[in-house]
Structure 1
Amino acid sequence: MSGGFSLSRRLVGRLTLGLSALWLIAVAGSALALRDELDEIFDSALQETAQRLLPLTIDELRDSGSDRDESRDESHNESGDEHEERAIDRPDTVLAEHEEYLIYQLRDAAGHVLLRSHDAPHEPFPVAPQRGFGEAGGLRVYGERGPRGLTLQVAEPLVHRTEAMSELFVWLAAPLLLLVPLAAGAIFWTVRGSLQPIGRLRDAIHARGGGNLAPLPDEGLPRELQAIIRDVNRLLGRLSQTLEGERAFAANSAHELRTPVAAALAQSQRLAAELRARGPEGGAPGTAKLQQRVAGLIDSLHGLSGLVEKLLQLARAEAGLGLDNAEADLLPVVRLLVDEIGRRPAGAGRLVLAPGGPERLDARLDLDAFGIALRNLIDNALRHGSADEAVTVTVGSDRSVAVVNAGPVVPPDRLAKLGTRFERAGATTSGSGLGLAIAGTILEQAGGSLELRSPASGRSDGFEARIRLP
């Protein structure tokens, strides 16, 4: 599972990020729309305030006695300011101090300030005294014209609008801090519940192993998965039919090929026995030469019988002979093969099972398949190893079985080719060249491996074939 990714995590992450992005986009769009609406409201308030204050400020200017000609000089302007301050400071009109969001100035035609609100600056607004809106110096100003060239300008600091928009955006985006974990939790539980059928299907496939080709159940799965399972079941059905056909062919071939070879071998041995019974003196001329030919024929039939056996083993291995769903203890198979082959003339006194090792050797591997693989490795070691040194079978605590024989070191280029079909250790070496290929195929089919080393581990010579169990 290394290198993969979690579908549920990817869905939760992307859906949460997508929801957050959509929320922020919606907030930004809403803020822009509200900004336009607020600008219209604020501008309308400026205009309405100016229109309401204009007659009041003119009356206040008239009552204060500061109604002057429009062409008065700067001293008149200062006199007007004093009248304004005195009007504000009247005992019967004392107002509480407060922050004004709107400030105003009443200006004459020359731009001099006649009256102003208490928060308004003494200097004229940086906008010409005329009717309409204008912006300058961080102020939004609306001017309204009155009689005799008077202009009332109502201004609002733009920072107020900026603060209002900032607070609005913050309050619109603030719920996202609570929404993200809640949405992530809701998405997680939704995705987890939706992917439960996939998890059950994964567990079912994992539990059955690679050797079970029975159809997969599709009950309780969504429609999208049911179509996939139906296609997979059709593929499993075809694969099962193919494997069954190959196994049937191997079984039938074993019967059809072994019988005639065995019959031919039996007839040849009978003929050799009759020739020996006649003897070289009492027989027909050329009897000795005929006996040699019959002996060669018997050797060829023995080789053919062995080759047929190897080919059938290879066919069975490629058909999935090594696959098994249940675990089995392979240690009794190792002991049985060492004892059986050790009683043969070729293995008598040469085959040794190393002492020690684990008490059990459990693996999901067919007992018959494991026996075929180990038998081929032992036969290969006895055939190619030094005749005067033992062949050792060692069961390791790392769930491995090693077969080691003495002999010359196999060159690296030749060692790399061993294990392929019909590849022999040397041109003059006897054997079919299939033993290592059969063992490697069986182990590969079962999920294990076959390691070949020369020199053998811990030696300066020899050959080692090590089975790594699945």
Structure 2
Amino acid sequence: MAGASPDREQGKAPWSIAQRLSSLLTVALTALWLVAVVAAAAVVNHETNEVFDSALQETAQRLVPLVVEDFGEQSEGDDHQDEARVIEERLEFASHEEYLVYQVRDAEGHVLLRSHDAPVRAFPAALNRGHAEVGDWRFFTEHYAPADLYVQVGESLAHRREALYETMAGLVAPLALLIPLAGFVIFWTVRRSLAPLAAVRAELDARGGANLAPIAVEAMPRELAPIIDDVNLLLARLGRVLESERAFAANSAHELRTPVAAALAQIQRLAAELQGSHQREAVLARVDQVAATLRRLGDLVEKLLQLARAEAGIALSRDPVDVMPALRLVTEELTRRGAVGQRLDFDDGGWQHLTARIDIDAFGIALRNLIDNALLHGKQGGRVAVFLDGEGAVHVRSEGAAVPPERLARLTERFERAGAEAQGAGLGLAIVEMIVTQSGGSLTLHSPVPGRSDGFEAVLRLDLAERAQVQPAP
């Protein structure tokens, strides 16, 4: 089922829906928050200016009665400046920071009275009742007509900006903590929401090509249910197609076995009847050729049957089984093949039991194909070694010239041969790889043999059971 996506084939890293959603939502949340802060800054700036302007006006209006009381009711022509100097000599100002400063001025603009932090020189604002903004200052002027006095209250705009900045800092500062926290919450929520997708992906990855059972849709959300239904329909259709192909291959192979065997028997009978013919040698040579062809056809039929069984998932077994009896049986049977069998050497490495998760018949088919491949394609008359290493892997090693790397990489493909003089069906290694892949193991090919300059080696690693059950003999 699993296959390389176009992005992976082109070297592009696959992207994650969860990461992309989390990133976009976090960026959008941050942008919206910043927009809200800017809008809040505009509102706060407008409202604070209104409050501060009102404070300027209220302060000026409150100061007028106090100033009038201090000055008293002066008749026209009295010297206000002399009276102001008397008041200033009488007042002692304590040192403190003033946000609002004021001046009391007469009609000519002279400063009659001022607050502690107010400048000695008159404010630059005109003596007109109302608000005025000059430079970096904001003023409000109140006029007391009976005494022709002006009270001007001023405030530095820097104070207003400071108040605005501190307010905005209080709104923005939490972002340093809230944005990462919101990002984590968004990522966690998205991952939890996409958990069904991850479950479907994990199930499909774990299945392999032989498991076409439908995916359960009971626990899936409504958005995923139609997709899972379509996948199940595709799996069912694919299963029917594969089953049809397997049935055709198996039935065809079964149908071919009988006529091939019958034809071989007739050829052998014909050879026996021609023993006294004057053309015996020529006819017998042709008969031998036909018999060899029929034997190869019989081997091909047998390989096709094995391939059909392998495609049907014969190796899918999760129950541990001891494969040592099958290993000994296959090697002993092959050693009884006359001259061919005498080339075979077997070393169990001291293992008494080898427990693995694989169907015992499937293991026998895989092992026989590996040994037949070594005997057929190895050096003529060369030795073939079958042995177990310390980790329980089965090694099948043969003598002969090294296989080029580009051809070695294709040997597990169907109908791919190593190019040796001995001809085979080109299905043996393909069947072995299919079986070990289904059972959770692996097949590794080496040529030349590690540590040598020639030879060929196939390493069959099984999905072993608990190590306590896989103990070499003492």
TM-score of the alignment, normalized to the shorter chain, above 0.5: yes
Please name the residue that 1:83 is paired with: 86
Query: The residue matched to 1:224 in structure 2 has which SS?
Result: coil
Q: TM-score, normalised by structure 2?
A: 0.78
Please name the residue that 2:104 is paired with: 106
Q: C-alpha deviations, 1:74-130, integer Å up to 9, x for none?
A: xx86x56523313535xxxxx987654322112345533122123322232243444
Identity of aligned residues (%): 54
Q: C-alpha deviations, 1:330-362, integer Å up to 9, x for none?
A: 444332221221122244332222232666555
Please name the residue that 2:269 is paired with: 270
Name the amino acid aligned to 2:238: L
Quote how far apart the aligned CAs of 1:12 are: 6.3
Quote how far apart the aligned CAs of 1:29 are: 2.2
Q: 2:115 aligns with which of 109, 113, 117?
A: 117
Please name the residue that 1:306 is paired with: 299
Distance 1:333 1:4, change over 3 A: farther
Quote how far apart the aligned CAs of 1:303 are: 1.7
Query: The residue matched to 1:465 in structure 2 has which SS?
Result: strand
Kept in 1, the 8 Å contact 2:250–2:304? The answer is no
Kept in 2, the 8 Å contact 1:322–1:443? The answer is yes
Name the amino acid aligned to 2:89: R
Q: Does 1:292 align with 2:254?
A: no
Please name the residue that 2:471 is paired with: none
Give the number of equivalent residue pairs: 452
Q: 1:50 aligns with which of 45, 60, 65?
A: 60
Quote how far apart the aligned CAs of 1:409 are: 3.2
Distance 1:153 1:411, change over 3 A: same
Distance 1:259 1:152, change over 3 A: same
Q: C-alpha deviations, 1:224-258, integer Å up to 9, x for none?
A: 12222211211221122122222212221121111
Residues 123-134 of structure 1 mapped to structure 2, 5 A cutoff: 123-134=121-132
Query: The residue matched to 2:227 in structure 1 has which SS?
Result: helix
Quote how far apart the aligned CAs of 1:259 are: 1.3
Residues 283-432 of structure 1 mapped to structure 2, 5 A cutoff: 285-317=278-310, 320-324=313-317, 326=319, 328-356=321-349, 361=354, 363-398=356-391, 400-412=393-405, 414-416=407-409, 418-426=411-419, 428-432=421-425
Name the amino acid aligned to 2:235: L
Name the amino acid aligned to 1:142: F
Query: The residue matched to 2:425 in structure 1 has which SS?
Result: coil
Distance 1:5 1:324, change over 3 A: farther
Please name the residue that 1:463 is paired with: 456
Query: The residue matched to 2:224 in structure 1 has which SS?
Result: helix
Kept in 2, the 8 Å contact 1:212–1:325? The answer is no
Please name the residue that 1:92 is paired with: none
Q: Does 1:142 align with 2:140?
A: yes
Please name the residue that 1:26 is paired with: 36
Please name the residue that 2:240 is paired with: 241
Q: Does 1:261 align with 2:264?
A: no
Q: Does 1:453 align with 2:451?
A: no
Kept in 1, the 8 Å contact 2:105–2:113? The answer is yes
Please name the residue that 2:164 is paired with: 165
Kept in 2, the 8 Å contact 1:64–1:83? The answer is no
Name the amino acid aligned to 1:50: A
Kept in 2, the 8 Å contact 1:132–1:144? The answer is yes
Name the amino acid aligned to 2:388: V
Kept in 1, the 8 Å contact 2:377–2:421? The answer is no
Q: C-alpha deviations, 1:300-356, integer Å up to 9, x for none?
A: 211221223234434554565554455544444332221221122244332222232
Select the structure of larger CA radius of gyration.
Answer: 1
Kept in 2, the 8 Å contact 1:20–1:180? The answer is yes
Name the amino acid aligned to 2:219: G
Distance 1:379 1:220, change over 3 A: closer
Structure 1 distance, partners of 2:115, 2:176, is: 43
Structure 2 distance, partners of 1:106, 1:18, is: 55
Quote how far apart the aligned CAs of 1:201 are: 5.2
Distance 1:172 1:291, change over 3 A: closer
Quote how far apart the aligned CAs of 1:267 are: 1.4
Structure 2 distance, partners of 1:158, 1:23, is: 27
Name the amino acid aligned to 1:352: D
RMSD: 4.0
Quote how far apart the aligned CAs of 1:442 are: 4.1
253-262 or 266-275, which moves further after superposition? 266-275
Structure 2 distance, partners of 1:341, 1:434, is: 19
Unaligned runs of 5+ in 1: 70-75, 90-94
Query: The residue matched to 2:102 in structure 1 has which SS?
Result: strand
Quote how far apart the aligned CAs of 1:8 are: 6.3
Structure 2 distance, partners of 1:187, 1:60, is: 67
Structure 2 distance, partners of 1:303, 1:137, is: 107
Structure 2 distance, partners of 1:258, 1:416, is: 32
Structure 2 distance, partners of 1:301, 1:258, is: 10
Distance 1:215 1:412, change over 3 A: closer
Structure 2 distance, partners of 1:425, 1:118, is: 105
Distance 1:126 1:368, change over 3 A: farther
Structure 1 distance, partners of 2:185, 2:411, is: 59
Structure 1 distance, partners of 2:459, 2:133, is: 89
401-410 or 253-262, which moves further after superposition? 401-410
Please name the residue that 2:51 is paired with: 41
24-33 or 169-178, which moves further after superposition? 169-178
Distance 1:199 1:406, change over 3 A: closer
Kept in 2, the 8 Å contact 1:328–1:365? The answer is yes
Distance 1:192 1:290, change over 3 A: closer
Structure 1 distance, partners of 2:107, 2:320, is: 106
Structure 2 distance, partners of 1:4, 1:326, is: 36
Name the amino acid aligned to 1:82: R
